[in-house]
Structure 1
């Protein structure tokens, strides 16, 4: 069986998943082809991930969101699909041109198509017509790969049945993050601290976290706050924290260095709003043995945050500050227990879970290809996808 995976680009977390999936398929006698359409990443250009060993090609290596059209992507990708002639395609969110092309090509050529996405149905606002169009397109999709069962309600809203829903999209390399750290590049940091890691953009809600930390300090809190990352909100965050003691900013770090930063973290805080469709830094922190404190609007909160951490309302600075005090008051035994629970939870969401979920999805889709419906096919033929500006850019 020829399996083809395509999206706008594959950076940050995807190469390690695809590498595992490629090996997984090879062991079962299948081939994997990977096509990313643009060479210049939008969201994770800083990650510098290696794609060695992947059977991957880039259609437009010198193009970016600002320099390419959906029609050019459609033309280039259609040519490659005709040449490779895969049995099944796995493509990203249907808003993007590669997915629009993939669905259209698959239906015309009587092939299977699986879509992956991690957005809940209410993550982004949309009108009735847009919703109707999206449901019409989804009726041409044979299976769906999403993060976890907490997305079932969303998947059923879009018309998928239990048998058509598969899990494991949002995983990280747990073994890497759980490895014992030998170096200490951050010896100058305090012995323990609250931690944030990620792009500093509005939906990450770091303004509220800083305001909450100010309240925490005013009430006698002593644990420092370390904020790792960069982005368009960085200068605003610096200005907001100027009069607050014990806030330390660090630029983006390599994965190896982030692992070192985790060592002395008392807790990871992720205060994002609902456009944080998952929050993979939580996976990484849990695998590294860090207690997590997560906004109840983040996509991962239902799946990953149990007795291993804390949930809070991201709009309530007092509640966030209260969470900081709760973490401060934990005994060593309570901390160890939470870390163990976190390890047990995250062990269920590893690279093998991704490959198993993706393989189950393609196997199902090949055996249960949906028939074309006239009106839905007309919409699929018209839809070319959009190159909309991605969140936080």
Structure 2
């Protein structure tokens, strides 16, 4: 009698947070019984996002925390059938990649980079291409992300879409009676507000939003609040802008908030604004806002725009870096008739329904099938 051999998937990521747990929970449930899933934290000390310990607790899949120097040892102990590696920019990703090469283990690239994210260097692109060509498959975000991988040498039929998703049900199931999907954001107890969530770093271009808001809000009576939630290196600069434009009563700079508080923040907002001007590979806040039933205003440079936002249908788009264009969108959305707002929310919710956890699980499973196909 042939012994049962369990097949094993290793998902390697620098540091797991609630988004990753939700995706891997969904994947664990979608996998066939003869597959086992294990997550490897290749850099658990990474503090890019301030996730709490409670948000990072183990859930329904085996979670292995690995210090960078122990990654190879942990993989050798687990003996994965296929390894999923996060991109190429992290030293630990390249360490996992080298382990796979030495052990002839099939590997899948997880990447949401685009050619347009930043100015590319020919030499580094050549090295990146050599790296990408060693993978058996890839899971990426949208079509422009797939096109970039193709330009680096990955065959299109080996690329599967669905990397950047969130737990839509988590955000939609917590809608309050006065959430924005009713079309009456002004009925909430709090003062109406435009919402910006994300790290306070250069690429997000929060100064553009503050300037646009300052000019626009000074032209109307009883303007709504602008609420920026996050933290980071630009805190002092943003605070100086609040003083410069005399926005003490109108601009709130709110520290990083836990995952548990996000649904209410979205649901009570007029709209979520993401003004990024460069290197914004996707923008998961857009997924979250659409799932919560809140309209979005996004720049042309956000990676999710092409996949999720159709102007004046599922959301609103402005030209990245264009203050006048952003002001017009603030004006349009704030004074949007209730019936029009409801329709935008309806279409946005319909769009995001197809970009949820099942899409991620399907993309991973499809990439596994690709890996197991004979070469040639």
TM-score (norm 1): 0.85
- State the distance in 1 between where 2:11 and 2:132 align: 18
- State the distance in 1 between where 2:348 and 2:225 align: 23
- State the distance in 2 between where 1:134 and 1:50 align: 31
Match of 1:30 in 2: 35
- State the distance in 2 between where 1:189 and 1:248 align: 13
Q: Deviations over 1:281-319 (max 9, x none)?
A: 110000000000001101111011111111112311111
Which of 300, 304, 307 matches 1:300? 304
Match status 1:227 vs 2:233: no
- Shift in Å at residue 263 of structure 1? 2.3
- Greater RCO, CA 8 A, separation 6+: 1
Q: Which runs of 4+ in 1 moved over 6 A?
A: none
Match of 2:197 in 1: 197
- Shift in Å at residue 120 of structure 1? 0.5
- The Cα RMSD (Å) is 2.1
Larger mean CA deviation between 144-153 and 265-274 belongs to 144-153
- State the distance in 1 between where 2:74 and 2:239 align: 47
- State the distance in 1 between where 2:143 and 2:153 align: 15
Give the length in aligned residue pairs: 354
Match status 1:17 vs 2:27: no
Gaps of 5+ in 2: 1-6, 179-187
Match status 1:59 vs 2:66: yes
- Shift in Å at residue 41 of structure 1? 2.4
- State the distance in 1 between where 2:13 and 2:238 align: 33
Which of 39, 44, 50 matches 2:49? 44
Match of 2:4 in 1: none
Q: Is the 8 A contact 2:200 2:230 kept in 1?
A: yes
Which of 152, 156, 160 matches 2:154? 160
Q: Is the 8 A contact 2:315 2:344 kept in 1?
A: yes
- State the distance in 1 between where 2:270 and 2:299 align: 17
- State the distance in 2 between where 1:148 and 1:38 align: 26
- State the distance in 1 between where 2:85 and 2:146 align: 19
TM-score (norm 2): 0.88
Q: Deviations over 1:337-378 (max 9, x none)?
A: 0000000110001111111101111221122458xxxxxxxx
Q: Is the 8 A contact 1:11 1:45 kept in 2?
A: no
Q: Deviations over 1:6-29 (max 9, x none)?
A: 12222242121112212222x442
Q: Is the 8 A contact 1:146 1:169 kept in 2?
A: yes
Gaps of 5+ in 1: 61-72, 371-393
- State the distance in 2 between where 1:230 and 1:104 align: 35
